[in-house]
């Protein structure tokens, strides 16, 4: 059954091509389609477009469908095109004409839009809930390993002393900025498009603010044309926020693959968390980090993919937008899985002690030697040249005092862990998920 079908049957090949994976993607949207309909029919009744007795019957039937979806007992019938058609069909089969009334004053365009907004909003919350404990782990490990020094690199060449306290703390603070961009994406998503219909509004006396309040949206997509133009843009902005988190994980994973390498030998992991070789008995491969790196690099490509798929589209709805779901929707779980696995690995890490005692790291202290000379009154540029020449002519010696002394904010001795945690707490609190939960609970009468 197709809501749009009149008297002409579409060629089978055309139908197969145009539907594509949409039925599969619609299962992601199923619970949100029901929520959108619950809000819509309550609004219809309030403006006189739906009898009160029909509203009561429809609410009961929709909540039954919602319960089936939550239990995993829901599916699209083979002859049904999409989630919207399936829900309307079930309502019509059970309630007759009352089921046919739920589509008044809306189009599949704004129905899909509100479903996607609700889905993205829910997935962003799940992402926040995945990032926060990982952030806490990084901060815990930062404090635990604050005195474990290791060589810092620039251009992959020895640079200056660093610490694993700094390393863990760096990625913790990176997640703070990632969460800020996720919050920005959330604000774009948390606007109600319902009532924009096909992108040009409705001649019915609908109350769009009412459906926004019922669904817990912070505001409306006011302009009905922009509500439709926002499809693709919202997905791209969310994808960019995911890509930022993915970039943090990818870079962290690259570090770990290097540091586990025998030529670095800074860290190790239990054998159960690494993999072996079919012919080399000694191998302990960092497959988890390699796969995190690859998954995350693929997610980093999502914003550009969405950008290219929506390039040169004029205003209004276009079927191109259907394809945005196929890579974006599964990306949320993939990224959460990567976060979970990174957490598993880093909570079981073993970090080598006294790494800097190795002779090959002696040049890490050239900057400290320059600074010591400066403290003795030698101009910085002269001290730099003096130490540089000692390196070149082989007379350089590691300073007798190699104790790290850099207590400024964000350095080895001053990680600012509490300050970074405060930043994360603030951005996490700003999402305001509780207000949304309360609205949805009221809608479902929980």
Length of the chain equals: 446
Candidates 277, 315, 347, 422; catalytic one: 277
DSSP 163-193: EHHHHHHHHHHHHHHHHHHHHHHHHHHSEE-
Provide the H-helix boundaries in 301-379.
Answer: 302-309, 325-346, 366-375
> 192-229: buried (b, 16+ CB within 10 Å) or exposed (e) per residue?
bbbbbbebebbeeebbbebbbebbbbeebbeebeebbb
Give 131's contacts (C-beta < 8 A, 6+ positions apart): 175, 178, 179, 182, 245, 339
Output the CA–CA distances (angstroms, integers) from residue 129 to 55, 123, 175, 231, 429, in the order listed. 35, 10, 13, 25, 12
β-bridge pairing 219-220 and 191-192: parallel
Indicate if 277 belongs to the active site: yes
Residue 10 DSSP symbol: P
Q: Which helix (H) or strand (E) holds 268?
A: strand 267-268
Q: Which helix (H) or strand (E) holds 151?
A: strand 149-154
Among 271, 292, 272, 287, smallest CA distance to 134 is for: 292
Map tokens 């930022």 to a residue: 244
How far, in Å, CA of 59 to CA of 41, rounded?
8
Which amino acids are annotated catalytic? 155, 277
């Amino acid at each position: 059954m197709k809501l749009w079908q009149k008297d002409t049957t579409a060629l089978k090949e055309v139908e197969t091509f145009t539907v594509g994976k949409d039925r599969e993607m619609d299962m992601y949207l199923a619970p949100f389609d029901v929520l959108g309909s619950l809000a819509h029919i309550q609004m219809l009744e309030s403006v006189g477009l739906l009898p009160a007795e029909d509203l009561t019957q429809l609410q009961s039937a929709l909540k039954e469908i919602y319960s089936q979806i939550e239990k995993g007992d829901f599916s699209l019938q083979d002859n049904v095109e999409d989630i919207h058609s399936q829900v309307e069909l079930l309502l019509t089969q059970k309630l007759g004409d009352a089921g046919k009334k739920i589509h008044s004053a809306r189009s599949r365009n704004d129905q899909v839009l509100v479903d996607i907004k609700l889905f993205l909003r829910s997935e962003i919350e799940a992402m926040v809930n995945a990032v926060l404990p990982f952030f806490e782990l990084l901060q815990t490990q930062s404090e635990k390993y604050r005195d474990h020094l290791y060589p810092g690199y620039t251009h992959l060449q020895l640079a200056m002393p660093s610490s694993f306290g700094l390393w863990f703390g760096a990625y913790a603070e990176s997640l703070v900025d990632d969460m800020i961009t996720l919050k920005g994406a959330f604000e774009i998503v948390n606007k109600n498009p319902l009532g924009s219909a096909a992108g040009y509004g409705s001649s019915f006396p609908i109350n769009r603010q009412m459906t926004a309040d019922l669904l817990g949206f912070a505001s409306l997509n006011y302009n009905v044309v922009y509500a439709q133009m926002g499809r693709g843009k919202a997905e791209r902005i969310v994808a960019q926020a995911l890509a930022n988190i993915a970039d943090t994980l990818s870079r962290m994973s690259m570090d770990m693959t290097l540091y586990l390498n025998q030529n670095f030998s800074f860290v190790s992991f239990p054998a159960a968390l690494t993999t072996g070789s079919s012919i080399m008995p000694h191998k302990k491969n960092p497959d988890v980090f390699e796969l995190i790196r690859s998954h995350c690099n693929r997610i980093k490509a999502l914003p550009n993919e969405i950008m290219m798929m929506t390039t040169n589209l004029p205003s209004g709805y276009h079927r191109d937008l259907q394809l945005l779901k196929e890579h974006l929707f599964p990306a949320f779980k993939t990224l959460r899985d990567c976060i979970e696995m990174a957490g598993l690995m880093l909570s079981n890490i073993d970090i080598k002690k006294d790494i800097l005692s190795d002779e090959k790291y002696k040049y890490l202290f050239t900057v400290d030697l320059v600074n010591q000379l400066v403290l003795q009154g030698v101009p910085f540029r002269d001290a730099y040249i003096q130490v540089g020449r000692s390196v070149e002519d082989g007379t350089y010696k590691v300073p007798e005092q190699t104790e790290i002394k850099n207590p400024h904010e964000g350095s080895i001795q001053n990680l600012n862990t509490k300050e970074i945690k405060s930043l994360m707490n603030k951005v996490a609190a700003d999402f305001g998920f509780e207000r949304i939960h309360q609205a949805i609970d009221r809608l479902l009468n929980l």
